[in-house]
Amino acid sequence: MKTRKKILVACGTAIATSTVVARKIEEELEKRGIAVETTQCKASEVPSKAEGHDLIVATTFVSGAGDIPVIQTVSFLTGVGIEADIDRIISYIEGA
């Protein structure tokens, strides 16, 4: 069995938007038979928390992610463009 890919979800405060984004990502990937592990953090915590993750999904600008790919999107909050972002997430984690 493949190990679960780890996605770090970052937003401004790590209390509201990242909670929703993390849950939506898990649900959408689960529908496609992909199980992932998500962790939430503040955008400012990305440099210290990025290590060990396969991908970072952020609702706001983040820096200090090193070599880890970052997808900046608000689609999981607005509902606009979720499919395209899920495809991007899958292409990153399948390639990771």
Partner 1 sequence: MNDQGLQFVDLVKKELVLDRLVATDRTDALSKMTDILVKRGYCKASFPDAILERERAHPSGLPMAGHKIAIPHADAEHVITSTILFARLEKPVEWCSMGSVDDRMDVRLVSMFALKDKRLIGDMLETLITVYQHDEILDALITAADSDGMYEILKQAVQTYEVRNS
Between residues 3 and 48, which has the closer beta carbon with respect to partner 1? 48
Out of 11, 21, 50, 70, which one is annotated catalytic? Answer: 11
Pairing of strands 55-58, 5-11: parallel
Is residue 15 involved in binding partner 1 (CB under 8 A)? yes
How far apart CA 52 and CA 36 sit, in angstroms, is: 13
Of positions 24, 56, 70, 89, contacts partner 1 by CB under 8 A = 24
Residues composing the chain: 96
* Residue whose C-alpha is closest to residue 86's, from 57, 53, 54: 57
Footprint of partner 1 on this chain (CB under 8 A)?
11-13, 15-17, 19-20, 23-24, 43, 58-61, 72-74, 77-80
